[in-house]
Chains A and B, each alone.
Chain A
Amino acid sequence: MDLERVDQIIEKHNSEASSLIQVLLEIQSENHWLPKEALERIAQRLDVPMTRIQHIATFYKAFSLVPKGRHEVHICMGTACHVRGAPRILDTVQDLIGIKPGETDLDMKFSLQTVNCLGCCALGPVMEVDGVYHGKMAPAKTADILKNYE
């Protein structure tokens, strides 16, 4: 992500320190992670200390300080999904992409994450890719879904 885009986002929020989280969220959603250069620019332009940005960026799970892949795969491990076979879904997806939860593959295609409940237990087991929910998953169906992502 280039710093010009960071500046644009900061200007959109009138360089207000109170918009810090909004600025961070916008960079996170466009870039999938928060690079250090971007954070330094924000600190300078919004006039907030780096310690504060660091505190916020590490406090909320929505932010990532390490590079993330182009597509984020979330697998629900909540109670309902768990009893309906989420561990098997997770195993299959791990084998397919070749990474463990919390990791990103080498060509930056997928990031895998387990989550605790996506709020649609009736659809369990649930897999979410880039905000799209895939309900009633079966280990055999995961490959069909993941191959649609480039």
Chain B
Amino acid sequence: MSPILLKIDGAKVQAQEGMSVWEAAASVGIAIPSLCLHGQLEPYGACRVCMVEVEVKGWTRLVASCCYPVEPDLVVRTRSTKIDKIRKTILELLLAHAPDSPQLKAMGQEYGANPNRFEKEASFCVHCGLCVRYCAEVKKLNVVGFVDRGTRREIGFIPELAAKECWNCKECFPLCPTSALQAAYVLTEALYAPHPFPKS
């Protein structure tokens, strides 16, 4: 299989078929910021922080680099006034949900995002899906999942399963960028009728 040649931020990059633009950029040391990307999980494209500009035959498009496969002669721009502005707005929208998330705050500072630009929406969950996907893809336990849809979508634990599995795992806890997951877990525990979750 011959390597695919593409240009990222002016540098010529060789990539293998099936790689994403994000991976190709990382292979030459260009770091594209991302929130919902995780080494052990399939790319999901939920956070949109990894948005880049790609140029195919003179036409430019905005795509999420974690999900966009490399193609020959692709021209990618990971930093430009336009991209930076889009990332800043995305981060401002995410910060409206979780203004105190350290990860979001650091990224927001880098792009000059104003955390007070949008009215606060105290959902705390930014729907990155890390916990849901980690539980399903890596642990294969399926304890936590998405509930409802649209603006009402949130994460929810299955209480009976959580009582059995979570105390000894909790591997999803450090993944959550906003700590909404931990809150959801504690809430599930508090609402679980028969008895408190076993702590062993």
Which chain A residues have a beta carbon within 8 Å of chain B's beta carbons? 49-52, 54-55, 58-59
Nearest A-chain residue to B132, judged by Cβ: A51
Assess whether B148 is in contact with A49, with CB atoms less than 8 Å apart.
no
Query: Other than the known A49-B136, A52-B145, A55-B146, what 12 A-B pairs have Cβ atoms closer than 8 Å?
Result: A49-B142, A49-B145, A50-B145, A51-B136, A51-B143, A51-B144, A51-B145, A51-B146, A51-B156, A52-B142, A54-B156, A55-B147
B161 within 8 A of A: yes
B149 within 8 A of A: yes
Q: How far, in whole Å, are A52 and B132 apart by their CA atoms in the complex?
A: 11
Main secondary structure of the interface of B (DSSP, over half): mixed
Residues of B within 8 A of A55 (CB): 145-147
Within 8 A of A (CB), among B143-165: 143-149, 156, 158, 161
Interface size on B, residues (CB 8 A): 14
The 8 Å CB contact of A58, one of B132, B136, B147, B161, is B147
Residues of A within 8 A of B161 (CB): 50
Main secondary structure of the interface of A (DSSP, over half): helix
Q: Could you pull out 23 A-B pairs where Cβ atoms are within 8 angstroms?
A: A49-B136, A49-B142, A50-B142, A50-B145, A50-B158, A50-B161, A51-B132, A51-B135, A51-B136, A51-B145, A51-B146, A51-B156, A52-B142, A52-B145, A54-B145, A54-B147, A54-B156, A54-B158, A55-B146, A55-B147, A58-B148, A58-B149, A59-B149
Residues of B within 8 A of A54 (CB): 145, 147, 156, 158
Residues of B within 8 A of A58 (CB): 147-149
B146 to chain A, nearest CB (A): 5
Assess whether A51 is in contact with B142, with CB atoms less than 8 Å apart.
yes
B139 to chain A, nearest CB (A): 11
Residues of A within 8 A of B144 (CB): 51
Residues of A within 8 A of B136 (CB): 49, 51
Nearest A-chain residue to B140, judged by Cβ: A49
Nearest B-chain residue to A49, judged by Cβ: B142
Within 8 A of A (CB), among B53-88: none
Nearest B-chain residue to A60, judged by Cβ: B149
Q: How far, in whole Å, are A54 and B156 apart by their CA atoms in the complex?
A: 9
Across the A-B interface, the 8 shortest Cβ-Cβ residue pairs: A51-B145, A49-B142, A51-B142, A58-B148, A50-B158, A59-B149, A58-B147, A55-B146
Q: How far, in whole Å, are A59 and B181 apart by their CA atoms in the complex?
A: 20
A85 to chain B, nearest CB (A): 30
Nearest B-chain residue to A36, judged by Cβ: B160
Q: How far, in whole Å, are A50 and B165 apart by their CA atoms in the complex?
A: 14
B9 to chain A, nearest CB (A): 39
Residues of B within 8 A of A59 (CB): 148-149
Residues of B within 8 A of A50 (CB): 142, 145, 158, 161
Q: How far, in whole Å, are A54 and B161 apart by their CA atoms in the complex?
A: 13
Q: How far, in whole Å, are A55 and B144 apart by their CA atoms in the complex?
A: 10
Nearest B-chain residue to A40, judged by Cβ: B160
Centre residue among A51, A58, A59 by max chain B CB count within 10 A: A51
Within 8 A of A (CB), among B138-192: 142-149, 156, 158, 161
Nearest A-chain residue to B145, judged by Cβ: A51
Q: How far, in whole Å, are A49 and B145 apart by their CA atoms in the complex?
A: 10
Assess whether A51 is in contact with B148, with CB atoms less than 8 Å apart.
no
